[in-house]
Amino acid sequence: MFNDTSSPLTLLATRRSGKPRDLVAPGPAADQLEAMIAIAARTPDHGKLAPWRFVIVPDDQRDRFAETITTAYLAERPEAGRLELESLDQFAHQAPALIVMLSSPRPESHIPLWEQELSAGAACMNLLHAAHAMGFAAGWLTGWASYSDAVRDAFGAAPERIVGFVFIGTPAKQLEERPRPDLGKIISIWNG
Ligand SMILES: Cc1cc2nc3c(=O)[nH]c(=O)nc-3n(C[C@H](O)[C@H](O)[C@H](O)COP(=O)(O)O)c2cc1C
């Protein structure tokens, strides 16, 4: 059904996430990252609040990122073992590009927080689509680091929250499809 690979519908129908640990070079250049973010920022947003931000973590900051999450982790779990610390280091260094997506709600606004956070999730999804349309794969991870206040404080300030760490690059091997929801279970026709 979606054979024309240049068609927007094919792009939407074939996008899937890449596992960040399997994403390799080439990654997006700086201007490509900016173009992806410009696309992601075209997201429905009740009240024109732009309640989200994108923080690019450049190559020369990956060591610092690893240090930040490791310090935060050790503060919470001083008994952490070698394997846990290695996994944090791997997390911080995987994939050629990293964008930390933040929800930046305006508490003073009459727009409900829920709607502002929905918009942040939608912007993150748009970022994944933009990466795919530009020929890359992206993976949206949360995990322990995204719920740590200390890690959040390294990128923003309360009430901001980390929506996710979006890793972008080229899949080292062909991405396999994964099971998709049974449409019969998620679509219904309302009948009063
Ligand atoms: C908010 C959010 C957080 C996620 N966090 C993780 C995570 O920490 N670890 C993980 O393995 N997958 C996580 N995932 C799932 C991956 O992004 C997964 O690869 C994706 O759902 C695959 O589906 P897709 O191919 O349709 O994109 C998360 C997904 C979302 C929406």
17 in contact with ligand 1, CB cutoff 6 A: yes
Which residue's CA is minimally distant from atom 16 of ligand 1? Answer: 140
Confidence grade of residue 55 (pLDDT, cut at 50, 70, 90)? very high
Answer for the pair 143, 167: CB distance below 8 angstroms, yes or no. Answer: no
Phi-psi region of 101 (alpha: psi -120 to 50; beta: other; left: phi over 0): beta
Q: What is the pLDDT of residue 109?
A: 98
140 in contact with ligand 1, CB cutoff 6 A: yes
- The residue-averaged pLDDT of 134-144 equals 97
Answer for the pair 155, 102: CB distance below 8 angstroms, yes or no. Answer: yes
Task: Tell me the pLDDT tens digit for each residue of 29-50.
Answer: 999 999 999 999 999 999 999 9
Alpha-carbon distance of 86 to 190, in angstroms, equals 51
18 in contact with ligand 1, CB cutoff 6 A: no
Distance 141 CA to ligand 1 centre (A): 6
Alpha-carbon distance of 190 to 111, in angstroms, equals 28
164 in contact with ligand 1, CB cutoff 6 A: yes
